[in-house]
Structure 1
Amino acid sequence: MEFSIGTCAKIDQVSMVKQAEDLGVTHFGVGEGPLLFSDPYQFLALAARETSTIKLGTMVTNPLTRIAPVTANSMATLNALAPGRTYLGIGTANNALRSMGNRTAKITELMHAIEVSRDLMAGKRTVHKWLGQEREVEFLDKESGFYNVKDHIPIWVAAGGPRGLAEAVKYADAIVYCLGPNPDMIKLIRTRLDEAVANAGRAPGSVKLVSLSWFYQLENGETWEDGVTNGFGSGPISSCITNSGLMNNHRDVLGDSIVDASITAAQQYLGDPTAADQPHYLDTWAKYLRGLDPKHRPIITKELVDYWCLYGSPAELREKTSLMLESGVDITQVFLSNPFTAQRDIDNIGRSILAHA
């Protein structure tokens, strides 16, 4: 079973990647947030030296905080340290840009960055549009070991909405989507992905579906509230933010209850942009992925937790993981939303899920 773990890049916790590898985790990604986390590429470079089989990547970068040639260079450099073990996770961004008070990337910006990065990482010359100019770019010394453009670097795209999905499948090796153990939501995204792949003229099954869930293993006597408090904290709200638009267009499949709950949670978290007393964006994101921010506790309901989170007893975790795979997920992925408890969670994943795969 392919199983991926993502978490915040915390530079003094690189050893958790080796821990994950030893337990059978196949992919490990770290997020990018210039005001929030350690730099992902420094983290991944250190992890590359401590591991030998696990695949390493961003989860996710974006086309605005780093321009495409810089991203391609970082990935090709990592690929020199871990040949054939790297993947580029990229999207329009959520926390990385919103936490700086800026808009997320446009689909056109994302697609151009993917095109340029893909070509450069394959050792090709390509055209980069930047600062109102179009210029040819190419890695200039591909044989001296500065970077590795011989081993393919898969591209994982975090895309939402029909347009984003349709564009992303033209280039992606995998699509990353916020999904929990709900068959209706998984089957909806699987169907839309397969249709987009066919429309793009690509072979069936050529683009994998990677789920993104929020993880916590319940200990004896614990309830879903303990999962929020001691585990994924405010994480499920991110799934609401990224999915509410698409969900609103598929009420007939998903049901009004979960759609309304997800939209409400997203709105309550982000605040009313027209309100005079709107919180400062730095305050909004100050405790993002640091466990539970107590002010968000009323937003997180059991309905949202059940829908977006991979949580429960060891037996329930195995059952839910199997359900997700049977419903159309190719690679199960969890994001550990609290770096301070990530090592505990990785150990639980290894013992409760992967040891029985």
Structure 2
Amino acid sequence: MKFGVTIAPRVSDWRLFVDLEEMGYDCAWAADSQMIYSDAYAVLALAAANTSRIRLGTGVSVAPTRLAPVTAHSIATINQLAPGRTFLGIGTGHTAMRVMGKDPMKAGAFRDYLRVLRALLHGEEVDYPLGGESHDIRFLHPKDGFINVAEPVPIYVAADGPLALKAAGAYGDGRVCSHNQTRARLQKSMETMQAGAAAVGRTLPADFYTASLGYACVLEPGEKITSDRVIDEIGPMAAASLHYWWELYQMTGDTSTVAGRCRNLWAEYLDFTEKMELPPNKRFQQVHLGHCAFLPPEERRFITEDLIRSTGGLVGTPDEIIDMLREREAMGLSEITLLPAMATARRNLKDFADKVIARY
């Protein structure tokens, strides 16, 4: 099992990547959401220039906000600074698009986006459609120090639906998923990705990477799972599940993703959103306020034990967390990546490194 951290990137706090390397984490992912955080690639450049071991990448980059060649050249530039330890997490843009009132990229367009990305990041020429025309493109100066594609950048695709999973199998080197995956769901997802790979003549390697995004907090002796300290450290990431459920509900009326043990909490949260000051067409701005970075005080009451448990939070004693990790490793996960609140990130992650990773 590898241990990673997803960071809500603030460019003035790039030293957190250096600290993570010193703590012993394997990977650091910079979240990419243009209306919420600093630019992920700018922060990764600073991190790359000041670290030597830790793997660095986007967590995850947003396909609809950048052309595929732009994403390829951005991450290949980071690979020039951190050769062989750079990766690209990529998704359709759930949060980054929702905070502008827009939908994520459609499955067909995302699949072709990945096709172009993979070719460019392997130093190949590829036909690239734009504006109704298609032209062959390639990096013109791959050996002159501008970028590095001599060491291909692994592509980790954020995917849950069947079409995105097939695209991940066809063009990805791994998958990013949420923490609350069951063994059956992971197996079904792997079968779908294998079918996607077979459709383009690929066979997924045995070490196909699966990173699971979540959060953790090591409890102190006698501490409750909903203590103020715990909520301070993991509240923003736990609340992000409510944001996700809300967005799906607004888009389709679907509530099937709402955890069964959170149904009452969901009804309370929905009532809370209906009373927001902003009009319905701007309400997404308030719903995503603080998204994964800090917890607005008015949302604190929604961080319950039911929400934490049903969203896969690794909250418990060191022994309890290690048992949870063993179970996830047995399910086939390659990496657990944690996203704590910004204000308490160093304390939370140092605690986890010292009390869990050191013993794992």
- TM-score normalised over the length of structure 1: 0.87
- In structure 2, the CA distance between the partners of 1:324 and 1:270, relative to structure 1 (3 Å rule), is farther
Match 1:303 to one of 298, 301, 306? 306
- 1:344 is aligned with what amino acid? R
Asked whether the 8 Å contact 1:178–1:242 carries over to 2, the reply is no
Match 2:194 to one of 182, 191, 198? 198
Which residue does 2:234 correspond to in 1? Answer: 232
Deviation at 1:66, TM superposition (A): 1.1
Asked whether the 8 Å contact 1:7–1:30 carries over to 2, the reply is yes
Task: Pick which of 20-29 and 219-228 moved more.
Answer: 219-228
Which structure 2 residues correspond to residues 29-40 of structure 1 after superposition, within 5 A? 29-40=29-40
Deviation at 1:233, TM superposition (A): 1.2
RCO comparison, higher one (Cα < 8 Å, 6+): 1
Deviations 1:297-330 (A, max 9, x none): 3433312201221112222222222221123212
Task: Pick which of 139-148 and 308-317 moved more.
Answer: 308-317
Deviation at 1:30, TM superposition (A): 0.8
- In structure 2, the CA distance between the partners of 1:81 and 1:277, relative to structure 1 (3 Å rule), is closer
Asked whether the 8 Å contact 1:268–1:299 carries over to 2, the reply is no
Which residue does 1:151 correspond to in 2? Answer: 151
Asked whether the 8 Å contact 1:19–1:346 carries over to 2, the reply is no
Unmatched 5+ residue regions in structure 1? none
Deviation at 1:63, TM superposition (A): 1.4
Which residue does 1:175 correspond to in 2? Answer: 175
Deviation at 1:291, TM superposition (A): 2.3
Give aligned pairs, total: 347
Asked whether the 8 Å contact 2:231–2:303 carries over to 1, the reply is no
Deviations 1:56-108 (A, max 9, x none): 00001121111111100001110100000110000111221111221111112
Which structure 2 residues correspond to residues 184-223 of structure 1 after superposition, within 5 A? 185-200=181-196, 201=198, 202-203=203-204, 205-223=206-224
Task: Pick which of 213-222 and 64-73 moved more.
Answer: 213-222
Structure 2 distance, partners of 1:132, 1:270, is: 41
Asked whether the 8 Å contact 2:262–2:307 carries over to 1, the reply is no
Structure 1 distance, partners of 2:98, 2:90, is: 16
Which structure 2 residues correspond to residues 85-164 of structure 1 after superposition, within 5 A? 85-164=85-164
Asked whether the 8 Å contact 1:27–1:54 carries over to 2, the reply is yes
Task: Pick which of 290-299 and 118-127 moved more.
Answer: 290-299
Structure 1 distance, partners of 2:259, 2:39, is: 40
Structure 1 distance, partners of 2:83, 2:14, is: 19
Deviations 1:131-169 (A, max 9, x none): 333222211111111000100210111111222212221
Which residue does 1:343 correspond to in 2? Answer: 346
- In structure 2, the CA distance between the partners of 1:177 and 1:267, relative to structure 1 (3 Å rule), is farther
Deviations 1:276-315 (A, max 9, x none): 6565332222322232222223433312201221112222
Structure 2 distance, partners of 1:327, 1:265, is: 33
Deviation at 1:119, TM superposition (A): 1.0
- 2:231 is aligned with what amino acid? T
Aligned-pair Cα RMSD in Å: 2.9
- In structure 2, the CA distance between the partners of 1:63 and 1:278, relative to structure 1 (3 Å rule), is closer
- In structure 2, the CA distance between the partners of 1:65 and 1:278, relative to structure 1 (3 Å rule), is closer
Asked whether the 8 Å contact 1:157–1:168 carries over to 2, the reply is yes
Which residue does 2:54 correspond to in 1? Answer: 54
Deviation at 1:262, TM superposition (A): 8.7
* Residue aligned with 1:233, SS: helix
- 1:312 is aligned with what amino acid? G
Asked whether the 8 Å contact 1:318–1:352 carries over to 2, the reply is no
- In structure 2, the CA distance between the partners of 1:120 and 1:266, relative to structure 1 (3 Å rule), is farther
Deviation at 1:210, TM superposition (A): 1.3
Question: What percentage of aligned pairs have identical amino acids?
Answer: 28
Matched, 1:292 2:263: no
Structure 2 distance, partners of 1:85, 1:113, is: 23
- 1:189 is aligned with what amino acid? R
Unmatched 5+ residue regions in structure 2? none
Structure 1 distance, partners of 2:55, 2:164, is: 25
